[in-house]
Amino acid sequence: MSNLTSAALPAVGPDDHARGGGAQATVYLDLACQHCAAAWQRISQLPLRLADTISYDPAAKDLTVEISRAKAAKADLLLLVCRLNDAILLRREMVKQRWQPMGVLSPGSPGMYEQQFIQALGKHAEHCISNVPWYNPKAELTRRVEQAFLRQNPKDRLVFHGLNVGFTFEAVLVAADAFRRAQSVDPRALAEAIRQTHIESKMMLGAPIKFNAKGQVEGIGSACVQNLNQMPRVVLPAAAAEAKPVFPMPGYKA
């Protein structure tokens, strides 16, 4: 389900949306979005049968009909493309209608790992899963950044800002590293130094920081982040995991 409504979904057919006899899923993706379209291509290869695709108005104040429809589809999984406010509204309606699927997963959108989501929903925010770019909680650089963050924000937690802090810190790191190697403020010298960037000691998950011919960083990693004990925690990949994934969600009945 999602509030993205700029493109209609293709018809569900046996050749592209029904593969194997695995679990059923309810999903909505905006195919006008390049990233969502790419995600759709991958999802269609999974051993899932898409039980339904449901869209809703981003300004909706009531998702009773949408959740009733999803529940009636008897889907085992909810693949959710959302934002913060509608994610809260949707999860509350799921609780109200006592719909407990095997899992509530986001393929890459914000909302469910945010502090406001957890504060607003309490225990009902537990076990929701987001698959997003994330920092490596076990990296030495993460530990040092967190210490600096807490000195400046003693009442806050890095985990609720890690996505923004991590990429911002690495952007500054790239600039500082280029200046160190160029030993100059000449734009051409700095540009050439940036092209030669290769930083292995980093904060975010993924390959070393380096730029391709188009100036893009390749190899940025993602994590499976699950809300556990009122905190978003990395549960996959195993090398960076802070906890083991809880799946299916407690309360699920096949």
pLDDT in the model for residue 26: 56
209 vs 19: which has the higher pLDDT: 209
- The whole-angstrom separation of Cα 157 and Cα 137 is 13
pLDDT in the model for residue 38: 61
24-133+221-240: CATH, from 3.40.309.10, 3.30.43.10, 3.40.50.2300, 2.60.40.10: 3.40.50.2300
Tens of pLDDT, residue by residue over 57-84, are 877 899 999 999 999 999 899 988 888 9
**pLDDT band at residue 49 under the 50/70/90 scheme:** confident
* Average pLDDT in the chain: 86
DSSP class of 33? S
2: pLDDT strictly greater than 50 = no
125: pLDDT strictly greater than 50 = yes
Mean pLDDT throughout 162-169? 94
Report the percent of the chain where pLDDT is more than 90.
69
What is each CA distance from 69 to 1, 52, 80, 101, 171, in whole angstroms? 11, 9, 15, 13, 44
Residues in the chain: 254
51: pLDDT strictly greater than 90 = no
167: pLDDT strictly greater than 90 = yes
Mean pLDDT throughout 124-147? 97
Please give the structure tokens belonging to residue 237: 């990949």
Question: For residues 170 and 209, is the Cβ–Cβ distance under 8 A?
Answer: yes
This prediction has a pTM of 0.82
pLDDT in the model for residue 55: 86
Lowest model confidence (mean pLDDT) among 14-18, 89-93, 193-197, 237-241: 14-18
Report the DSSP beta bridge partners of residue 108. none
pLDDT in the model for residue 21: 46
Homologous superfamily of the 135-220 domain (CATH): Response regulator (3.40.50.2300)
Mean pLDDT throughout 232-247? 97
228 vs 54: which has the higher pLDDT: 228
Mean pLDDT throughout 1-17? 38
Query: Residue 138's closest CA among 234, 246, 245, 244?
Result: 234
**pLDDT band at residue 108 under the 50/70/90 scheme:** confident
What is each CA distance from 150 to 56, 137, 240, in whole angstroms? 39, 15, 21
Please state the domain extents for the chain: 24-133+221-240, 135-220
* Fold match, 24-133+221-240 / 135-220: yes
Mean pLDDT throughout 175-197? 96
Identify the H or E element spanning 78.
strand 77-79
**pLDDT band at residue 13 under the 50/70/90 scheme:** very low
134: pLDDT strictly greater than 90 = yes
pLDDT in the model for residue 141: 96
19: pLDDT strictly greater than 90 = no
